[in-house]
């Protein structure tokens, strides 16, 4: 049997190397000229028209202007996570989850949690759920003359929505959860390569470590929160500013998409310390939500009280919230109308990815119409 031949060495002549360097230099020159010429209007994110209808402290409630003559009578309230700004669901006109929901005829509201400072360090999960979120729900119910509304939660906002539906089931008609961690220990029995690093990191901390972190900082700075996400893929988050960026310099559509995404990433809000303390101890470590043991104030979040229809959406390539932490929850809720929807892509790609965009909003709208 012949031995496999050794790979031939790659020979690069000085002339070829010089040509390559010249091409990269020319591309960088063109790219820098294009970057300097972009206007604020071109780089703007979250441009779907909306109106502020309520505010309290740093929190705002917006209603997006309907794009159909007669939107659905039962409105939808979107609750995003605290660890990122809600603009992700409306990143670009052609990559906007919100615009697609509006096009489907839904009446859409969104709660903007704002930018917490040290003044909000003592806020708890209960303050957000039974305070701000409940006020938003009541205002929408009164404004539209309905007893119940639809609630849609995203990631951490999905946890808030789950808690709210369990504590105030009489106010929610349908519950939609997207890329939401429900079983924070699901990855223990079903580990996924390259996913769940935040779970591992949070569970490795001692209660004393968590207390020291919260007591020292009060509010976790947005830069620190963002850094923890960047460290899930440090190599990828370096190369996107080098080789990947050079490759897209001549593609204006990709370049604008990249810059808008970076703008959203850079606007990372701080995180109230007491929310973080409970998030790490009660959820990441003790997994109390899925066990119906989570206490908000003096009330227990009993998932059996969630008897309205539930749609649970998870992303097949999500490395932040492993699939095992989201799917298979039909026996956890009290409802007999539980549905799951898998979408292609990752945690953020669920809302901005081309494939997921074609599936997510139309499927949610269809599911809601069938139940409204």
Which are the catalytic amino acids?
Answer: 155
Distance CA 165, CA 275 (A): 19
What is the DSSP secondary-structure string of 208-273? HHHHHHHHHHSEE-HHHHHHHHHTTSTTHHHHTTTHHHHHTTT-HHHHHHHHHHHHHHH-PPPEEH
**Token pair for residue 4?**
């496999």
∠ CA 159-356-101 to the nearest 5 degrees? 70
**By the 8 A CB rule, do 364 and 176 touch?**
yes
> Taking Cα atoms as reference points, which of 251, 250, 269 lies closest to residue 157?
269
Task: Kindly calculate the radius of gyration of the chain based on its CA atoms and give it in whole angstroms.
Answer: 23
Structure tokens at 156: 């951490």
Q: Please check whether residue 26 is in contact with residue 241, taking contact to mean a CB–CB distance below 8 angstroms.
A: no
The structure tokens listed for 139 are 């205002």
> What would the DSSP string read from start to end of 35-95?
HHH--HHHH----S-EEEEEEETTEEEEEEPPSSSS--SS-EEEE--SSS-GGGGEEETTE
Token couple for 172: 């929610």
Instruction: Say if residues 148 and 170 touch (Cβ distance below 8 Å).
Output: yes
CB 60 within 8 A of CB 112: yes
């Amino acid at each position: 049997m012949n031995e496999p031949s050794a790979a031939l060495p790659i020979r690069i002549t000085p002339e070829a190397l010089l040509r390559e360097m010249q091409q990269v230099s020319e591309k960088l020159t063109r790219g820098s000229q294009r970057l300097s010429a972009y206007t604020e209007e071109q780089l703007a994110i979250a441009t779907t028209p909306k109106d502020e209808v309520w505010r309290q402290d740093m929190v705002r409630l917006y209603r997006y202007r309907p794009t159909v003559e007669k939107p659905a009578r039962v409105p939808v309230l979107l609750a995003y996570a605290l660890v990122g700004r809600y603009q992700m669901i409306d990143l670009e006109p052609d990559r906007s989850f919100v615009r697609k929901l509006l096009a489907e005829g839904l009446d859409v509201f969104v709660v903007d949690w704002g930018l917490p400072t040290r003044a909000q360090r003592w806020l708890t999960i209960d303050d957000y759920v039974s305070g701000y979120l409940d006020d938003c729900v009541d205002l929408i119910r009164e404004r539209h003359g309905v007893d119940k509304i639809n609630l849609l939660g995203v990631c951490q906002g999905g946890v808030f929505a789950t808690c709210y539906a369990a504590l105030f089931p009489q106010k929610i008609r349908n519950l939609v959860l997207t890329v939401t961690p429900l079983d924070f220990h699901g990855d223990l029995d079903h580990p996924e390569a390259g996913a769940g690093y935040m779970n591992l990191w949070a569970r490795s901390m001692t209660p004393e470590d968590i207390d020291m972190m919260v007591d020292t900082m009060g509010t976790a700075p947005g830069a620190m929160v963002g850094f923890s996400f960047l460290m899930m893929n440090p190599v990828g988050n370096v190369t996107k500013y080098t080789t990947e960026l050079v490759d897209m310099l001549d593609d204006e559509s990709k370049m604008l998409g990249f810059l808008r995404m970076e703008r959203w990433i850079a606007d990372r809000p701080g995180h109230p310390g007491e929310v973080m303390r409970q998030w790490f101890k009660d959820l990441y470590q003790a997994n109390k939500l899925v066990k119906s043991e989570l206490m908000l104030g003096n009330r227990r979040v009993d998932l059996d009280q969630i008897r309205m229809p539930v749609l649970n959406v998870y992303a097949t390539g999500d490395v932040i919230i492993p699939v095992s932490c989201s799917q298979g929850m039909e026996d956890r809720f009290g409802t007999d109308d539980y549905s799951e929807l898998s979408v292609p892509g990752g945690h953020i790609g669920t809302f901005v990815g081309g494939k997921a965009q074609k599936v997510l909003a139309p499927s949610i709208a269809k599911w809601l119409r069938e139940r409204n």
